[in-house]
Structure 1
């Protein structure tokens, strides 16, 4: 292992993970990460996918000790249809005082009622983020994605309720064309980095070390980026790793039926660009919820804009002064998370 704090900081800001598994923030501080690949089932149609999801949920719920993380979107709503009646469904709600935040609880409650599930809401505040983030960072040996605290809190709540595992709809978007903005056009490498980098290290760090090797395998002969494969094979690692870390830290089982699959054919970008994103999953939803309209896509709720609206940015010497000015809440979170991690780990 090679100690390279500057590299690790830059990689986290760019990819939300340390890409080079031979690099560490300090001696013995090796970021935890899931394997690069795992066994998956190739899917050719919405009927095949529906059958797999139904089977996966049945296996996870056989002993009556599984709950569902239920959002207002269609991925977890589909899984809700396969849950045994009376199962618990948790929905996250981030709060920030009197400021409005994304609230999926009403629509999730409608799904829960339709499926005969017991709906419970988990409130997340900024105090919760500050309280639990250090615990998760120490387990991960890394800064965090902003969703990890709420997943961890769901795990704690589930254990109190006698639950041993939680089922999530994670990876449906990266596997089946749900990220319509990034799939909306063909991207050159420069355009892709400019658009898709979570936070460009050179705008925040005094000594950035930028590694674009994560993107290089997905550059096609015509110079464009193969975005569908980048999402389904590369970006998925960071996404799933966030859930795994939070669930492991809470000592709760993690089940992600979509993550055990891959699309065994070329993604139809024309359909997505005409407004039919995640078309295969839409087909399942429309079969199962004939009286429901497909809702607009929103990310897992996290009130980073509200929580960090008055945060002035990092003050450690590694960061460019006032670099957080004009950044989004999610970008500020990456800076806050990175600086907090460096402080608590004494790096």
Structure 2
């Protein structure tokens, strides 16, 4: 059914449309990724388990021409360690001047494991060129990373890549969202902390999205870990799913098939060790360098909109 008011509010709050039965327009059905079911995931206790199970997963692709989206972070760097001789695709913004340190780390990882490094040059014109296809496919607004993921996927496709690899799910599975894991949240605190944009602050006819949070209410508290497993996993992975689908490029995330067998040690996460198992594995794969801190996928949004003016201002002139 068409329900634009709901869809706008849901997207503002969660960056995706939570209700699968509601859409922005007739004939356009929004698509969200379905996470790997628990009964299909592999339980891992130790860093050795993670290392072994990723290697086993990669074995099934030994005869395919492989590529990887390689950033300066540890998640893709670890996946790269199983892909000697493969092709790596690294975003380069503004001629390489934006987040140069992140680019340098990706170059280091590629050289360390003998990957053929390709730069994916992104500017605002690139983003504009790829906005329409990802929005049409999603039947909803898109995350700002989707046009650039599409560009990388299309570039890899032209190079003959048959399977692209990403390390997107590691944060959620291994305790990397340390801001959201920072404390045991009361219900009201978590609603305030998690909501991306409050619908009532930007929409003329907002609808409350509290119903989704209410599913996880535990008296005055909230089961934020299950909320993140159920809700954040859809929001974070759907951008990759959509962009790769538009490019008709198969992709694989080995972390998405794993699950911690032991309870996440929140004390360690809250005292400077987010993703402690992944950090240990990173140290084993790259013993000569310090483990990098988490950084979001880069995109120079401030630069893109430096000279932007509100359309209503322009039209009033």
Over 3 Å counting, the alpha-carbon distance change for 1:220 and 1:272 in structure 2 is same
Equivalent residue number for residue 52 of structure 1: 53
| Secondary structure in 1 matching 2:212 | coil
Give CA-to-partner distance per residue, 1:31-69, whole Å, 9 cap, x none.
112236533222222222221111222323x12411011
- 1:270 partnered with 2:267: yes
Equivalent residue number for residue 326 of structure 1: none
Q: CA deviation at 1:254?
A: 1.1
Measured in 2, the distance between the counterparts of 1:167 and 1:238 equals 19
CA contact (8 A) 1:33 1:241 kept: yes
TM-score, length of structure 2 as denominator length: 0.92
CA contact (8 A) 1:70 1:77 kept: yes
- 1:150 partnered with 2:151: no
| Secondary structure in 1 matching 2:60 | helix
Equivalent residue number for residue 280 of structure 1: 277
Q: CA deviation at 1:128?
A: 1.1
Measured in 2, the distance between the counterparts of 1:182 and 1:239 equals 14
Give CA-to-partner distance per residue, 1:141-171, whole Å, 9 cap, x none.
1110111111111111001111022100011
| Secondary structure in 2 matching 1:213 | helix
1:190 alignment partner, one of 188, 191, 212: 188
RMSD: 1.8
User: Where do 5+ consecutive residues of structure 1 fail to align?
Assistant: 316-347
CA contact (8 A) 2:2 2:26 kept: yes
Give CA-to-partner distance per residue, 1:285-336, whole Å, 9 cap, x none.
1122111110111001111222124434575xxxxxxxxxxxxxxxxxxxxx
| Secondary structure in 2 matching 1:53 | helix
2:113 alignment partner, one of 112, 115, 121: 115
Equivalent residue number for residue 18 of structure 2: 19
Measured in 2, the distance between the counterparts of 1:293 and 1:126 equals 33
- 1:251 partnered with 2:248: yes
CA contact (8 A) 1:175 1:231 kept: no
Measured in 1, the distance between the counterparts of 2:12 and 2:311 equals 13
CA contact (8 A) 2:64 2:163 kept: no
CA contact (8 A) 1:174 1:228 kept: no
| 1:132-211 → structure 2 map (5 Å cutoff) | 132-211=130-209
| Secondary structure in 2 matching 1:93 | strand
Q: CA deviation at 1:215?
A: 2.2
| Secondary structure in 2 matching 1:214 | helix
Over 3 Å counting, the alpha-carbon distance change for 1:309 and 1:250 in structure 2 is same
CA contact (8 A) 2:44 2:50 kept: yes
TM-score, length of structure 1 as denominator length: 0.84
Q: CA deviation at 1:231?
A: 2.0
Which range moves more in the overlay, 141-150 or 49-58? 49-58
Give CA-to-partner distance per residue, 1:201-246, whole Å, 9 cap, x none.
111111111222332233334x223333322232111221111110
Measured in 1, the distance between the counterparts of 2:308 and 2:197 equals 17
Equivalent residue number for residue 337 of structure 1: none
Over 3 Å counting, the alpha-carbon distance change for 1:230 and 1:300 in structure 2 is same
| 1:251-330 → structure 2 map (5 Å cutoff) | 251-313=248-310
| Secondary structure in 1 matching 2:106 | helix
Give CA-to-partner distance per residue, 1:86-124, whole Å, 9 cap, x none.
2111111233x89x6334211011111111111111111
Equivalent residue number for residue 66 of structure 2: 66
CA contact (8 A) 1:41 1:260 kept: yes
Measured in 1, the distance between the counterparts of 2:150 and 2:35 equals 23
Measured in 2, the distance between the counterparts of 1:166 and 1:211 equals 35
Measured in 1, the distance between the counterparts of 2:221 and 2:28 equals 36
Measured in 2, the distance between the counterparts of 1:153 and 1:27 equals 29
Measured in 1, the distance between the counterparts of 2:156 and 2:35 equals 29
| Secondary structure in 1 matching 2:231 | helix
Equivalent residue number for residue 32 of structure 1: 31
Equivalent residue number for residue 315 of structure 2: none
